[in-house]
Structure 1
Amino acid sequence: MPNAHHYLFVLYFIDAKFRYPSEKYIRKTLKRNISGQASVHHGIALAFGRSYLTSHIPFRLNPFCATSAWSIDFGSGNICSFILIPPCSRIKIQGQTPSLHQLLHFNTLSDYQTSLAKKHRTYRLIMPLHSEIYTTDPANVEYILKTNFPNYGRGAHIEIMRDLFGDGIFAVDGEKWRHQRKLASYEFSTRVLREYSSAVFRDNATKLVAKVSTAAVANRAMDLQDLFMKSALDSIFKVGFGVELNALSGSDEFANRFTKAFDDSNFIVFRRYVDMFWKVKRFFNIGLEAALKRNVKIIDDFIFDLIRCKREQMENEKLVREKEDILSRFLMESKRDPENMNDRYLRDIILNFMIAGKDTSAGTLTWFFYMLHKHPLVQDKVVHEIRDATQAKDNICAEELSRLMTDDVLDRMHYLHAAITETLRLYPAVPTDGKMSVEDDVLPDGVEVKKGEGINYMAYAMGRMTYIWGEDAVEYRPERWLDEDGIFRPESPFKFTAFQAGPRICLGKEFAYRQMKIMAAVLLYLFKFRLVDETKEATYRTMFTLHMADGLHVYAFPRT
C-alpha cells in the first residue's frame, strides 16, 4: 500500500441539487456536524479537503479507487465526504474514466459521454466500489440485447428503480418480465386496442389545437413541451385506463398533483445513479429521498384509487372481453390469477405503461418541433407532404382534419416519418440504457466484462458517431432514412436503438409513431410556430428520459 504522502485529499460535498455550496455554508455545516452528528476528525478532514481542492487540485484527475469518510447534514440532507485519491497520473489505462467526472458534467451528461465515446467506442467508468462499461459499438449492443440476452439483466438497476417503478416491465427480469411481456404483447396486437387508441389520439389532437388556437389569438406564448406532455398523459390514461385525466385542460387538481409527483420522482430516481449516498439519505429520510417518498405516496394514492374505481365500474356494468382500455383487460386477467396480479402488481404495470406512453411521444415531439424551427426547409417539405396525403381543404376545422388522419393517410407520410425518426436518432427518448452482467463475459470488441459489472449502451452518443452514420452524423437530415423513391427505409435496431432491440424491443413503437404523426400533422397543417427567444439553444434535463430543459416556449400563428 502506498505511503500516506502518496494520497491527495479531495472534498466531495454536494447539496440536494448537486451544486458546490459556498465557503460560508460549508463552515456552518461543519460546525453543526462536528458538534453533534459527526466526529471531529471528519470535520478536520473536510476542512483540509476544501482548502486543498480550491487551491491545488484540478478536476482533470485520473481514475480513483479510494476509501472515503462521510458525514450527513441532517438539516438539509446534504452529504459531505472526503475521498483519498491515489496519484494515478502515472498509470495510463485507455478507455477508463473516473465517476467524479460524470458528476461534474451531470447537467450535460449525455454530451460528456458522447465526447468520451468519440475517443473510445467502449470505455469503463471507474467508481469507488464497482465499475460500469459504456459502449456505442452496434456489435456490442446486438450482443447484449440479443445474442447473449440471458446474461444481461437489470441487476442492481432494479434496486435503484424499485421505489418508483416497483415490479413493472422496465424494472424486472426473469419470470415477472416474461409474464408482463406476454400479456402486453397480446393486448398491443389486438384490433380493438388499435382502433380505440387511434380515436383517442385524434380526439386529443383536436383538444390540443383548441389550446394552441386560444394562445395564438391572444398572441400569448406557450410551452409546447408542457402541452405535449399533458396531451400525451391524457392519451395514455384514456387508452391505458379508460379514464379522462384532463391534464391538458388543467381542470383536475388531483391529476395535476399526480403529474408533478410523477415527473419529480422520475428525476429524483435518476439522480441515484450519481449519488453514492442515496441509500443513506433514504434510511434517514432526508433530502431528495424524503421528497421521493412523499411523491410516491401521492402516486400510489392516485393509482390505487383508479384501480378501485375501475374494478367497481366493471362490476356494476358487467363488462365483457371486448372492453377497450388496457387496465380493464388486465383486471379481467387478475380475476384468473388474483394471487400474483394483486393491486400492487397492477400499480407497477400502470406506472411503467405511463412512462413509456408519455415521455417517448411528448419528448420526441418537443425536439421535433424545435428541429423544424432550426431547419425551415425540412418543415416546408413536411407540410407539403401532409397537404398531399390528406387532400384537406384550406379552411378545414381541427376536428375534420383529425378525422382525416387514418392509418392509410399516415402511411403515406414517409417524409414526416423520416423527420420524426431523425429526431429520435439525435434526441432519443432514453439517452442511455443499462444492463448488468450475470456472469463473466467478453464483448465482440474484446472488452472483458466481469460478473456483476454494469454495461450501458448510449443511444444519444450513438446518434452522433461518424463511424455509424457517416461524416454528417451530427446533421439533421431526414433524407438519410429514405430510398431513391422517397420511401422510408428502416435501419438496424442495434444501430438505431431508440426503441431498444432484441426480446425487449418496445411493444408500443407503432403506437408512439401513430400518436406523434397525428399530433404533428394536425398542428403543422394549421399553425406556424416561432420561438420566443430565437437566440437560445435548447438543452436537456439529465434524467431517465430526454426532456428539454425549461421547455419549448413558442408563439403560434395560423398557417395561410
Structure 2
Amino acid sequence: MLHLVESVWGSTYVMQTVAVVCAIVVSSIGYNLRHRNYKGPKSYPLLGAAIGHIQNYHRLHHWLLTFFQKNSTIAAPMPINQVFYYTVDPANVKHILKTNFPNYPKGEVFQDRMQILLGDGIFNTDGEMWRTQRKTAAAEFSLKALRDFSADSFKEYACQLANVTAQLAFEGRSYDMQDLYMRMTLDSIGKIGFGVNIGSLSDSFPLPENEFAIAFDRANEIVTQRFIDPLWKLKRFLQVGGEADLNRNIRIVDDFVYGVIAKRKLERKERKAKPDAEQPEKADIISRFLDLSESGAHANMSDKILRDVVLNFVIAGRDTTAVTLSWMTYMLAEHPAVARRLYEELRAFHQRKVGARAGTWSWAREWEEIRQQLGEEEAERRKKELYLESMQKQVAEFTKLLNYESLKELNYMQAVLTETLRLFPAVPLDPKGILEDDVLPDGTFLKKGNLISYSPWCMARMKSIWGSDAAVFNPDRWLQSGVFVPESEYKFTTFQAGLRTCLGKDSAYLQLKIVAGTMCRFFEFRRTSNHYIMYRMMATLSMQGGLDAVPHLRTD
C-alpha cells in the first residue's frame, strides 16, 4: 500500500511540475506575443523591465538615452500590468502637451506616488482644481507688487550669497557651491513664499543646518524612488525602509509649514484687531492666498490646501533655480573661455551704467590705496574687514543696476543660462497619465491607464534635434548676430509647453540672471577635482555629492 501511495504521489508531483513548467512556457509565449512590438529595455514575464530600471536607477537618464539612440519612443513593461512609455520626439511632446492635452493629465500613477509631498498643489492636480490654481497663480505672478517684492528679494539674497562667497575667496577655501545656492534659494523662497527669514545662509562659517531643507530633500528623493519600486505600497503599509524615513521627514516639513501658516493667521488677526494702526501689507504668497481665502473661489481655504500650495512653490522656486546655478557653475569651471566671455559682458555692462573707473573696480588697486592711507601695519591688521566692506559695497551697487529691462542687454548671459537649462533641465523627466488609448504622431500606440514621460535631459543630447554637437555645452547656439534667439518650446522643453507652460518662467529667469550676473561679475570658480559630476535621482536634477569649488575674485 505504501508503495502504491508513493507511486501515485510521485506521479502527481511529476504532473504538477510539468503543469507548472507548461504554464510558465505558455505565459512567457503569451507575454512575448503581447509585447513583441515594444521597443526599449529588455523585459521579463511578471517583472517586466523593472530589473533594468532598478539596476540603472542611479543613472536612469543615461540608460534611457542608450535606447533613444535607436528609437525616439520606447516602452518598458512593468509589474502589475503597467507600461512606462518614454519619448524624445518633439512632435510627440506637442501632441501630449497641446494637441491632445486633455488625454494626458498628471494621472493617478503620478499623483498616488507624490501625494504625500505635493498634496493637491498645482504640480500634482488635474481638472478643475488644477485650472483654478493655475488661474490664481497666473493672476498673482502678473501683480506688480509680487514682481517687485520678488525682484528685491532676489537682489537681497544675491548680495548675501556674494558676501559669503567673498569670504571663501579671501581665505582661498573650497566649498560646496550647490549647498550655497540651495541655501540662498531657500532663504529667498522663504521670504517670498512664507514671509519669513529662514536664515540658512548666514554671514559667517560654519553655516547652520536647516532641518526643513534636509527633510524636504530626503522626502523628494524617496517619493521619486517609488516610480521604480513595485513594493513601495507594501513598504508603506509595513512602515519599513525608505517609507518609514519618508514619514519622519514629512512630519518635519509639515511642522515647519503649518507653523508658518499659524503665525501668518495670528498676525492677520492682530492686524484686524487694530485697524487704525499703520501696518505694511504683506506681499508673500501665503499672505496673498490668505487674502484670497476670505472671498471668491478660494473662500475658507483649509490649512492643508495652503500647505500644498506653498510646498509646490518651494519645489518650483528653490530646487529648480539652485540646481541650474550649480550646473552653470560646473560648466563655467569646465569651459573657462565661456566664463571669461561672460565676465567681459558683465564688466562692459557695469561700465556702461556707472562709468569706466567704477565699472572696472579692482580690489588689488583699492588695496594699494588703503595701504598708502592707513600704513602697512594697520592695513594688514584690518585687511579682511576692509576687503569684505569693499566687496559688500561693490556688490550692492552692482545689483541695483539689475532689473527686468537692463537684464535684456545681457544676451550672452541669457545664452549661457539657457544652454545650461538645455543640457541640465531642472526637471529631467516629465511623466503624464494616459486617460484613453491613443496613437502618437510617430505611430506609437499608447494603452490607457499607463504612463508616458518625455525626457528633456535626453532630448538635449539627441543629434536629430540639436545637431552633431548636441551633447556639447555651446551657448553660441542661442545667438544670432550676438542677439539671443529662443527655440520652439516643444524642442526646448525645460519650462514645459502648451497649456502647462511654467507660470514662473520669467521669475525664474529673473532670479537666475540676478544671481548669475552678480556671481560671475565678481568671481570665477575652479573645481577642486576633475571627477565627473553625476546627478542625484530626484524630481529635480540636483548634483550627487554637490560641487566642491574654490571661488577666486576677479581682479582685472
Q: What band does the TM-score fall into relative to the shorter chain?
A: 0.7 to 0.9
Shift of the 385–538 alpha-carbon distance from structure 1 to 2, 3 Å rule, reads same
2:483 aligns to what SS in structure 1? coil
Task: Tell me what 1:516 maps to.
Answer: 512
- Shift of residue 314, structure 1, vs aligned partner: 2.2
Task: Tell me what 2:198 maps to.
Answer: 245
Alignment of 1:442-461 (within 5 A): 442-461=439-458
Where does the alignment leave 5 or more consecutive residues of structure 1 unmatched?
Answer: 9-63, 67-83
Q: TM-score, normalised by structure 1?
A: 0.82
- Shift of residue 329, structure 1, vs aligned partner: 0.8
Alignment of 1:116-515 (within 5 A): 116-129=67-80, 130-155=82-107, 156-249=109-202, 256-318=210-272, 323-336=282-295, 341-391=301-351, 392-395=359-362, 397-483=394-480, 485-515=481-511
Task: Tell me what 2:8 maps to.
Answer: none
1:308 aligns to what SS in structure 2? helix
- CA RMSD, Structure 1 to Structure 2 (Å): 2.6
- Shift of residue 315, structure 1, vs aligned partner: 2.5
- Shift of residue 254, structure 1, vs aligned partner: 10
Q: Does the 8 Å contact 1:7/1:87 carry over to 2?
A: no
Shift of the 194–286 alpha-carbon distance from structure 1 to 2, 3 Å rule, reads same
- Shift of residue 88, structure 1, vs aligned partner: 5.6
Alignment length, in residue pairs? 486
Asked if 1:115 is matched to 2:66, the reply is yes
Amino acid at match of 2:217: D
What do the CA deviations read for 1:335-392 (whole angstroms, capped 9, x no partner)? 1266651100000000000000011110001000101111111111111111122222
2:452 aligns to what SS in structure 1? strand
Counterpart-to-counterpart distance in 2, 1:430 and 1:343: 28
Q: Does the 8 Å contact 2:93/2:490 carry over to 1?
A: yes
Q: Does the 8 Å contact 1:102/1:109 carry over to 2?
A: yes
1:431 aligns to what SS in structure 2? coil
What do the CA deviations read for 1:437-485 (whole angstroms, capped 9, x no partner)? 11111111111111112111001000000111011101111111111x2
2:222 aligns to what SS in structure 1? helix
Q: Does the 8 Å contact 2:428/2:456 carry over to 1?
A: yes
Counterpart-to-counterpart distance in 2, 1:6 and 1:552: 55
What do the CA deviations read for 1:250-294 (whole angstroms, capped 9, x no partner)? 999998111110000000000000111110011111110011111
What do the CA deviations read for 1:163-218 (whole angstroms, capped 9, x no partner)? 11110100010111111101100000111111111111111011001111112222
Amino acid at match of 1:547: S
Shift of the 162–342 alpha-carbon distance from structure 1 to 2, 3 Å rule, reads same
Q: Does the 8 Å contact 2:93/2:454 carry over to 1?
A: yes
Q: Does the 8 Å contact 2:200/2:209 carry over to 1?
A: yes
Amino acid at match of 2:230: M
Bigger CA radius of gyration: 2
Alignment of 1:15-164 (within 5 A): 93-97=37-41, 98-129=49-80, 130-155=82-107, 156-164=109-117
More helix by share: 2
More strand by share: 1
Moved more, 416-425 or 523-532: 523-532
Counterpart-to-counterpart distance in 1, 2:512 and 2:186: 13
Q: Does the 8 Å contact 2:40/2:67 carry over to 1?
A: no
1:430 aligns to what SS in structure 2? coil
Q: TM-score, normalised by structure 2?
A: 0.83
- Shift of residue 4, structure 1, vs aligned partner: 4.1
Q: Does the 8 Å contact 2:294/2:300 carry over to 1?
A: no
1:439 aligns to what SS in structure 2? coil
- Shift of residue 409, structure 1, vs aligned partner: 2.2
Counterpart-to-counterpart distance in 1, 2:18 and 2:511: 60
Shift of the 491–6 alpha-carbon distance from structure 1 to 2, 3 Å rule, reads farther
Identical positions, percent? 43
Task: Tell me what 1:547 maps to.
Answer: 542
Task: Tell me what 1:529 maps to.
Answer: 525
Shift of the 3–530 alpha-carbon distance from structure 1 to 2, 3 Å rule, reads farther
Amino acid at match of 1:390: H
Shift of the 92–413 alpha-carbon distance from structure 1 to 2, 3 Å rule, reads same
Shift of the 309–99 alpha-carbon distance from structure 1 to 2, 3 Å rule, reads same
Amino acid at match of 1:477: N
2:69 aligns to what SS in structure 1? helix
Shift of the 312–139 alpha-carbon distance from structure 1 to 2, 3 Å rule, reads same
Amino acid at match of 2:160: K
Which structure has more relative contact order (CA 8 Å, sep 6+)? It is 2
Shift of the 7–548 alpha-carbon distance from structure 1 to 2, 3 Å rule, reads farther
- Shift of residue 92, structure 1, vs aligned partner: 5.5
Counterpart-to-counterpart distance in 2, 1:100 and 1:357: 34
Counterpart-to-counterpart distance in 2, 1:340 and 1:506: 27
Shift of the 87–350 alpha-carbon distance from structure 1 to 2, 3 Å rule, reads closer
Q: Does the 8 Å contact 1:321/1:329 carry over to 2?
A: no
Counterpart-to-counterpart distance in 2, 1:254 and 1:341: 34
